[in-house]
Structures are given as structure tokens and as C-alpha cells.
């Protein structure tokens, strides 16, 4: 850029103008899209999606902003490109007939003889005329390396690239060049990267037999961008970045509870799982993880909430049959359309594609509750960062959609490392672990709540019992420092009941004996009391009798003295006992009269 001159300087401070590609995620990491009126180079090995990337941005431009575009194909015939694009649902024929797109077949036939140096002046003139006619704003040079290779002269190659770049700047067209890398002349076109304004590299790596596609912006003149390698997926919807989403986590939280499908488990969690939370059910093979998932799904369907059951390596029919054996009927809900069961293979397409498919399913069915059984199938597929990333992104997507999701994860024992390797345990809001307790020749299932964010939860181990009538949780039996389950628990429970009955009987017997003794004592007291009353009555009679007798005796003596005329004592008797004397005298008189 020229320095000096006021208008020039003014122009240089204007931020780089961009045009959106409409490719999901790309416009975000490039902070707006491709640089307008400039050259962008898309590099990548075979099958990385260079042509798709280029074509998709043109198609999106044509559809969204009604931008016309030119496509110069150096590598494939235009009929091939148009028919390949049909697989993505892009109707290029219509776009061509409505003058929204123009395809230039720029393949050089093998019969062409090269006799000396050539240039692109004529072609650019031709394209310029066409661009003017269509009012095109975008142009793609697909497989530019094929043509430049024919020049067989690095200096001439550079000159032609500069020519294209200058031509784009002059015409105001936004250009995309695609170029193969990874061949023998990998280094050969390195200079291209320095010449253009923006470089995007599409990669394709294989880890443990699984393919990972990714996209990276290497440079972007005059703009900030995210320089990380972002996973991408190629599907019938085209190329898209399955990017990590916004850094700031934002999702609505609620205190609403969702039933687990087991009343006692609801109680252990103080009402159930939180709506919109992520539940992890981990456990050894056969520890009833799927059953727990089935119960959750059935309870959701029962409430009439759309539910999605994603199963890996197990067909829908088999899930239905297995759950029916413990009294869970999913077929009914599937028929009514509330429940959708989606079974797929673990070792299916590449993991990004798999999650993209799952996203599509989620968008189509709009579930409120979801089951992924087992999630570990996906994360175990490859011990690769990208897979963990994909799992995490998917769960993040589910969470922001406010879907309550129950994931099962296969693990032997409580190997925390394994859980954190996939990052699931950190995302999980509630983590229930199912384990086996082997004892006295049997294996029993034990349920523990390892964590449950934002809610109190029971710290007790419960025994999970399955029967054809359903699933129940039972308190485990702790005896002599041992946790007993299964038959041992049942026996102990019986024994305990018998013992308590024995104690009850013994106590009752003792109580009755004591009661009897008590009653006897009371009766005895009554007898004694009656005897006492009888005696005291007798005593009273006796006392009366004796006092009367003595009085009679005194009176009689006084009478006797009187009769004897004994005077020494009479006065005293008269003074003290007038009445008595009178009575005695009367009696004496009466006696005498008789």
C-alpha cells in the first residue's frame, strides 16, 4: 500500500471490510467472513473440502445476499461440479440459469500443446466482462495450482498470482483460490501464502483409524481471527464448523424437578433431577444403567414431554424388549410419537459427523428429555482431544437447548480418570454410580449418588433390585460392619424381624407378670384395709362398752356410799358429778320401784 497522500491514509484506517460466507462457524472465527475485494487462499489435501468451502460460500452469497458469483474450475469439469453439488442440495443449474452464477470450465485438455510462456490476461479480461454482465461480487479459482503448474516457472507463477490479486482489487471482486497441498511439491506453493490476504487451511487427520477434519485460519491481514484448529464436518448440508460456541456460558437455570422414574431415587435427590441438567449414570456392564435411562425416558413420556433416546450399538427393538422385561413399556410412547428412538453404530461416520447428525435429530424432534446410551461409546472410540471436544460441545448444545439429558457411561469400578478424560464428569450435574457388590456367591447392584449440583442428596448406598414388576431401591443392611445385599440382606432382615418379635413377646410376658403382681398387691391392700376397718369398729365398740362400764361402777359406788351415808366423799361426788348422781339416783329409784 502506498504511503502518503491524505485520501490514502484515510483509507488505511478503515477496518477490513468483510463478506459473510454463511458457513456455520466460519464467519464467527474469522470475525465476519472473507476480506472483501481481496484474495483468500484455501489450502488442503485431497478430499478436505476446499471446493465445497468455496462453492458453499458462493451459494450462500447467492441465496442470502443475492450476490452473483463466478466459478472458474481448473481441475474438474463444470458439469461434474454441478452434479456433485446436487448432493449438498445446491441447485446450481437454477442459479446458473438465473444468472446468479457462472461456471467457467478452465480445464486444459491433454491434447493442448504448450509452446512457450502464457499468461492469464485474456482469461481475466473474459471474466471481467462476465462479472460486469452478472454484477458478480465473488469469484472462485478452483484448483489454481493445476494451471500454474503448466507454467513450470516459479517467476511466471508468481507473476500470474499477482495479476489475479491486482485484478481482484481493481474489479472489486472478492476472490477465493483453492490449492492442493500434501503432494510432492508441498513447499512449491508456499509463496502463495505470503501473497494473499487470508489463508485458510483445511486438514484431515486420522487418529486410531478415525478421521478428523479441521479448519484453521493461518493468516488474515488487517483483521483479528481465531487461529485454533476447529473441527469441521462435511455432510449433506455442506461444510460446517462444529465450533466450541461462545466462551461465556449462558443458559437458563430452573429449580423445576424432573422425575427419575423411581420414587425412592426422587426422594434421595430431594425431588428428582433438575430440569435442564446433565445426568451421568456410570457403572459396570449390566449394572442396569440402561434400565435407569429407560425409567427416566418412560417417566418423561408419561408426562407427555417429547423425548429422544439415542442408543449406540443396540437396536430400538432390542431396547424395547429389554426394558419391557423390567416393566417399562416404551413401545406405547414410540407409537404415540412422544418418544423417538435413534439407534446408530459407534463406529459409524467420523465423530463430528456423528454429532452433527445428532444435533439434526435434536432440532427435528425438539425433545425436553433425552437419553444417550452409552455416551462412553463415543468417547471411547478415540482417545483424542477432538472426540472429547465433540462430546463436550454436543452436551453444551443440549444444555443450552434446556434439555434434561441422561447419559450412561460404561466404566469398571470408579475410575475417575476415565470419566474426566472425556470431560463428562465435569459437565455432569448429577452423577449416579451403579456398582456391583459381590458377596456370598451373588452379585447385587448398588446405587450411589456421587454428586448432585445444587441439591442435597442422600449419602446412603441403596440396593437396586430389578424384577418384572419394576425397579425398586432398597436400604442396604449393615451388620457387624458389613454391608449386606441380596439374599444375605433378606436373611438378615428376616432374622432381625424374628429377633424383634422374640423380644416383643418376652417383654409382654414380663409386663403381664408384673401387672399380675401389682394387682395382687392392690387386692391384698384391700383385704388388709377391710380387716383394719373391722378391727377398729370392734375397738370402738369395746371402748364404748368399757367406758360405760366404768361410769356405772363409779355411780354405783356413789350410790352405795350414799346408801351407807358415808359423808367424807359425798360432797366431792355431788360437786363433781351432780348429773351422774342424779342419773344414778333415778336409776336406783327405778330399780327399787321394780
Partner 1 sequence: MRLYVAGTAPNSLRALANVRSICEAHYAFAHQLEVVDMLTDPVRAMADGIIVTPTLLKLSPPPTARVIGNLSDTAQVLFALK
Which residues make up the interface to partner 1 (CB under 8 A)?
Answer: 104-106, 108-109, 111-123, 125-126, 128-130, 147, 150
> In angstroms, rounded to a whole number, what is the distance separating the alpha carbons of residues 445 and 436?
5
User: Which three cell numbers, joined as nine digits, stand for 442?
Assistant: 451373588
For the CB of residue 166, give the shortest distance to partner 1 in the complex, in Å.
Answer: 14
**CB-based burial label for 304 (10 Å; 0-12, 13-18, 19+):** exposed
First to last CA, the chain: 174
Q: Toward partner 1, which CB reaches closer, 118 or 225? A: 118
Q: Toward partner 1, which CB reaches closer, 15 or 112? A: 112
For the CB of residue 80, give the shortest distance to partner 1 in the complex, in Å.
Answer: 16
Q: Toward partner 1, which CB reaches closer, 146 or 461? A: 146
For the CB of residue 129, give the shortest distance to partner 1 in the complex, in Å.
Answer: 4
What is the separation of C-alpha 207 from the centre of its chain, rounded to a whole number of angstroms?
A: 28
> In angstroms, rounded to a whole number, what is the distance separating the alpha carbons of residues 569 and 404?
124
Phi, psi at 228, each rounded to 5°: -70, 165
Q: Toward partner 1, which CB reaches closer, 75 or 463? A: 75
For the CB of residue 78, give the shortest distance to partner 1 in the complex, in Å.
Answer: 11
Q: Toward partner 1, which CB reaches closer, 152 or 531? A: 152
Q: Toward partner 1, which CB reaches closer, 77 or 494? A: 77
User: Which three cell numbers, joined as nine digits, stand for 159?
Assistant: 507473476
> In angstroms, rounded to a whole number, what is the distance separating the alpha carbons of residues 364 and 358?
10
For the CB of residue 103, give the shortest distance to partner 1 in the complex, in Å.
Answer: 11
For the CB of residue 97, give the shortest distance to partner 1 in the complex, in Å.
Answer: 17
> In angstroms, rounded to a whole number, what is the distance separating the alpha carbons of residues 422 and 420?
5
Element (H, E) at 158: helix 154-171
For the CB of residue 82, give the shortest distance to partner 1 in the complex, in Å.
Answer: 17
What is the separation of C-alpha 463 from the centre of its chain, rounded to a whole number of angstroms?
A: 23
For the CB of residue 104, give the shortest distance to partner 1 in the complex, in Å.
Answer: 8
What is the separation of C-alpha 291 from the centre of its chain, rounded to a whole number of angstroms?
A: 16
Contact criterion met (CB below 8 Å) for 62 and 95: yes
Q: CA dist 344 to 235, 294, 480, 565, Å?
A: 17, 17, 48, 147
Overall residue count recorded for the chain in this entry: 594
Q: Toward partner 1, which CB reaches closer, 112 or 184? A: 112
E-strand spans in 221-268? 229-235, 238-241, 257-258
- Beta bridge pairs of residue 466: 471
Q: Toward partner 1, which CB reaches closer, 128 or 222? A: 128
Amino acid at each position: 500500500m502506498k504511503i502518503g497522500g491524505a485520501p490514502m491514509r484515510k483509507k488505511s484506517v478503515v477496518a477490513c471490510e468483510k463478506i459473510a460466507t454463511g458457513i456455520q462457524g466460519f464467519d464467527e472465527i474469522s470475525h465476519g467472513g472473507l476480506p472483501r475485494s481481496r484474495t483468500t487462499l484455501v489450502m488442503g489435501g485431497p478430499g478436505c473440502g476446499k471446493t465445497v468451502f468455496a462453492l458453499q460460500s458462493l451459494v450462500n452469497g447467492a441465496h442470502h445476499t443475492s450476490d452473483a458469483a463466478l466459478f472458474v474450475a481448473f481441475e474438474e469439469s463444470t458439469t461434474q461440479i454441478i452434479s456433485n453439488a446436487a448432493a449438498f442440495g445446491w441447485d446450481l443449474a437454477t442459479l446458473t440459469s438465473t444468472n446468479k452464477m457462472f461456471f467457467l470450465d478452465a480445464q486444459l485438455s491433454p491434447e493442448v500443446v504448450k509452446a512457450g510462456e502464457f499468461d492469464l490476461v485474456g482469461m481475466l479480461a473474459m471474466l471481467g466482462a462476465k462479472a460486469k454482465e452478472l454484477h458478480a461480487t465473488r469469484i472462485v479459482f478452483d484448483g489454481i495450482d493445476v494451471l500454474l503448474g503448466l507454467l513450470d516457472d516459479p517467476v511466471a507463477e508468481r507473476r500470474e498470482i499477482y495479476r489475479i490479486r491486482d485484478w481482484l482489487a481493481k474489479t472489486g471482486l472478492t476472490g477465493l483460490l483453492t490449492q492442493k497441498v500434501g503432494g510432492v511439491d508441498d513447499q512449491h506453493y508456499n509463496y502463495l501464502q505470503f501473497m494473499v490476504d487470508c489463508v485458510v487451511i483445511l486438514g484431515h487427520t486420522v487418529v486410531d483409524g478415525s478421521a478428523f477434519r479441521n479448519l484453521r485460519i493461518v493468516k488474515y491481514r488487517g483483521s483479528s481471527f481465531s487461529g485454533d484448529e476447529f473441527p469441521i464436518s462435511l455432510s449433506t448440508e455442506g461444510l460446517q464448523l462444529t465450533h466450541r460456541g461462545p466462551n461465556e456460558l449462558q443458559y437458563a437455570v430452573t429449580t423445576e424437578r424432573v422425575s427419575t422414574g423411581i420414587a425412592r431415587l426422587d426422594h434421595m435427590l430431594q425431588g428428582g433431577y433438575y430440569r435442564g441438567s446433565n445426568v451421568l449414570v456410570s457403572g459396570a456392564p449390566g449394572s442396569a444403567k440402561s434400565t435407569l435411562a429407560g425409567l427416566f425416558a418412560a417417566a418423561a413420556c408419561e408426562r407427555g414431554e417429547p423425548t429422544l433416546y439415542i442408543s449406540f450399538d443396540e437396536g430400538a427393538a432390542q431396547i424395547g424388549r429389554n426394558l419391557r422385561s423390567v416393566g417399562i413399556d416404551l413401545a406405547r410412547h414410540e407409537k404415540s410419537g412422544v418418544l423417538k428412538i435413534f439407534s446408530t453404530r459407534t463406529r459409524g461416520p467420523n465423530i463430528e459427523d456423528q454429532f452433527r447428525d445428532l444435533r439434526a435429530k435434536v432440532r427435528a424432534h425438539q425433545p425436553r428429555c433425552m437419553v444417550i446410551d452409552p455416551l462412553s461409546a463415543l468417547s471411547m472410540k478415540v482417545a483424542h482431544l477432538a472426540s472429547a471436544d465433540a462430546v463436550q460441545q454436543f452436551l453444551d448444545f443440549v444444555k443450552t437447548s434446556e434439555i434434561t439429558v441422561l447419559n450412561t457411561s460404561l466404566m469398571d469400578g470408579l475410575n475417575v480418570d476415565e470419566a474426566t478424560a472425556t470431560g463428562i464428569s465435569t459437565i455432569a450435574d448429577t452423577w449416579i454410580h451403579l456398582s456391583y457388590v459381590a458377596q456370598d456367591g451373588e452379585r447385587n447392584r448398588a446405587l450411589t449418588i456421587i454428586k448432585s449440583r445444587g441439591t442435597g442428596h442422600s449419602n446412603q448406598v441403596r440396593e437396586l433390585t430389578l424384577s418384572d414388576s419394576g425397579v425398586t431401591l432398597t436400604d442396604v443392611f449393615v451388620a457387624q460392619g458389613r454391608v449386606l445385599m441380596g439374599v444375605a440382606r433378606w436373611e438378615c432382615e428376616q432374622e432381625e424381624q424374628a429377633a424383634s418379635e422374640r423380644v416383643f413377646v418376652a417383654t409382654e410376658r414380663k409386663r403381664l407378670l408384673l401387672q399380675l403382681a401389682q394387682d395382687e398387691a392392690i387386692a391384698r391392700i384391700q383385704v388388709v384395709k377391710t380387716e383394719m376397718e373391722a378391727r377398729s369398729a370392734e375397738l370402738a365398740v369395746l371402748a364404748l362398752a368399757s367406758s360405760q362400764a366404768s361410769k356405772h361402777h363409779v355411780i354405783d359406788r356413789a350410790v352405795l356410799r350414799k346408801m351407807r351415808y358415808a359423808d367424807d366423799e359425798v360432797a366431792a361426788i355431788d360437786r363433781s358429778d351432780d348429773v351422774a348422781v342424779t342419773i344414778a339416783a333415778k336409776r336406783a329409784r327405778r330399780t327399787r320401784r321394780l
